Amino acid sequence: MKPMGNISTPFISYHDINVDETDLYEDAWGFDSQFSDVIEILNKVKPVPGKRLIKRLVASVREKN
């Protein structure tokens, strides 16, 4: 058996990781985030929720209060 003190794992902090030349979105999700891709995704997102969703949310909040 080896003593526990002889086995170690080096620790690094987030500041030690260099990501200057890395596109984190492309690396994480596998798509190239060119400007046209970002605009296309933003067009699919609804910035204002529908009235039905707002009514359900208000009703839920009123139930809990």
Q: Is the pLDDT of residue 3 over 70?
A: no
Buried b (16+ CB within 10 A) or exposed e, 16-44: eeeeeeeeeeeeeeeeeeeeeeeeeeeee
pLDDT of residue 5: 58
pLDDT of 1 strictly over 60 = no
Choose the weakest-confidence range: 4-13, 15-24, 38-47. 4-13
The whole-model pTM stands at 0.32
In the predicted structure, residue 13 carries a pLDDT above the cut 60 = yes
